[in-house]
Amino acid sequence: MACTTILVGKNASYDGSTIIARNEDSQQGEFTSKKFIVVKPDDQPRHYRSVISHVELDLPDDPMQYTSVPNANLKEGIWGEAGVNEANVAMSATETLTTNERVIGADPFVELTPARGTEGEPGYEPEVPGGIGEEDMLTIVLPYISSAREGVERLGALLEEYGTYEMNGIAFSDVNEIWWMETVGGHHWIAKRVPDDAYVTMPNQLGIDEFDLDDALGDQEEHMCSADLREFIDDNHLDLAVEPVSPLNPRDMFGSHSDRDHVYNTPRAWYMQRFLNPYDEVWDGPDAAHRPDSDDIPWARQPERKITIEDVKYVLSSHYQGTPYDPYGTLGDEHTRGSLRPIGINRQSQLAVMQIRPYRPESCRSIQWMAFGSNPFNTLVPFYANVDATPAYLADTTDHVDSGNFYWANRLIAALADAHFAAASPLIDRYCEKTGGLGHRMLAAADEQVGRLDTNPVDLDDLADEEEAVDDVRDADAIIASTRNPEVRGILAAANQTIADQVKAETDALLGDVLYAASMNMRNDFHLSDN
């Protein structure tokens, strides 16, 4: 499934938060309607069976509550995609990645083999289940981890035991760290800690470009991997370095270098980094250090200024504005405009941005920002994660078009606005600015209300070493006890409902405005009045 990811380390973000964000894009030719819900422990399965691969596994009996963004129609499985659990650990799963024939040949994908023949008759061959995939990962991992590192460890063990039928990238974050994990073939994987002062761009392509294998197989300070990765690389001649070198380059070993990448993948990383580091290098023309078709665009980079939530939304909505490749632009010509795969596309399902704030109490620390539909035409809205239920405006999506829920309202706006981009863009810009302001105001008001409860917030200003202070309070049981405070959850749920109501009113108004603007450009217009 096509997606785009950005990860922002705590020292690269505007407020010291860790931020992980990803667009979930549906497959070509279809839309996938999505919900934003809370999964309570009683609703979490104890025995899990995948719809796609039919893999079955028993799950632990002590799940935490967590948020999820599942499909509205479960015919193809849950596809939970993004969420935050009660220990204030976030997960985004998954970014579909590319690979090469050597990796697949060395460690084939674990795909479902259907039964053959009729059971009880000669020659019958029973079904052989496949491995785990994007459909499954959030559901079988997020409720059971109390740190980002534990997320890598749990999913890594599951991959080694059950395998996978696809290449995927998965992000985990807590208040201290972000880890990025990439599957390699059917059973192998690598993971790297995102530098605190950097951001990472991931556009459907295996991305890690430096990997310290000795650390991954030793102290695991910044790297982790499957236990036999060194033998896997050596036995299958996967290291393409001309001379022995450390760190290794996984992108060369495990990734792809196809012409399709230069149209579909690398341009997205180029544009995101072009926006976040506009002055560090030349991005355009014959002297450009990196071009849309460059294979060496860095995986991680220090930004020129701190990155905001609005920056995250902008890059994940972008369609090459200001370049000859913008399908809505006036630069370039018919050969360049629309020639590269944009980040903000028509078949976007949802965008989830998980922000974990070190300066707020555990009880209200985690924010899950949500947008539905095509990103150039929608808005990003904050919701507290540690609540008992999400507003119906986001939770009650169905397969049927209904402007009364956030998902379908945004679908309708995008379909109308795309064909009338010049007229609709100012309306959408004002809508995003107003709803964004409402969201930030809601967070400030609810944070202040929670602060008055004296729930033992972490006051980093009173502590000499901020990182040590945050580390000291990362006791899972204490965090969960704090996030389960019913009075706080009531405040946060009310705040979520308030912003949902406000955004619904603004979205309904925008739908009317865009409909009017589109109607004024209908081809059966006639300029003589009846009066």
Residues labelled as active-site residues: 3
Q: What is the dihedral of CA 463, 464, 467, 473, to 10 degrees?
A: -30
Please spell the DSSP secondary structure of 309-360, one letter per residue.
HHHHHHHHH-S-TTSTT-TT-SSS-TTTTT-S--SS-TTEEEEEEEEE-TTS
CA 201 – CA 7 distance, rounded (Å): 7
Q: Please choose, from the candidates 373, 377, 431, 366, the residue with its C-alpha nearest in 3D space to the C-alpha of residue 397.
A: 373
Indicate if the alpha-carbon torsion angle 515, 520, 521, 525 is positive or negative: positive
Packing angle between helix 406-418 and helix 421-451, nearest 10 degrees?
150
Contact between 384 and 488 under an 8 Å Cβ cutoff? The reply is no
CA 319 – CA 325 distance, rounded (Å): 8
Please spell the DSSP secondary structure of 9-22, one letter per residue.
-TTTBTTS-EEEEE
Indicate if the alpha-carbon torsion angle 386, 391, 397, 403 is positive or negative: negative
What Å distances lie between residue 386 and 35, 189, 241, 389, 466, CA to CA? 17, 31, 47, 9, 24
The helix/strand/coil state of 500 is helix
**Angle value at C-alpha 175, between 170 and 176, nearest 5 degrees:** 85
Instruction: Give the position of tokens 């090469």.
Output: 100
Contact between 50 and 63 under an 8 Å Cβ cutoff? The reply is no
Q: Please choose, from the candidates 74, 197, 188, the residue with its C-alpha nearest in 3D space to the C-alpha of residue 139.
A: 74
CA 163 – CA 244 distance, rounded (Å): 30
> Which token pair is 90?
């976030």
The helix/strand/coil state of 405 is coil
Query: How many Cβ atoms from other residues are within 10 Å of residue 114's Cβ?
Result: 9
Contact between 10 and 196 under an 8 Å Cβ cutoff? The reply is yes
> If 0-12 CB within 10 Å is exposed, 13-18 middle and 19+ buried, where does residue 324 land?
middle
Q: What is the CA radius of gyration of the chain?
A: 23
Packing angle between helix 486-519 and helix 421-451, nearest 10 degrees?
170
**Angle value at C-alpha 86, between 85 and 88, nearest 5 degrees:** 70
Contact between 211 and 250 under an 8 Å Cβ cutoff? The reply is yes
183 strand-pairing partners? 189
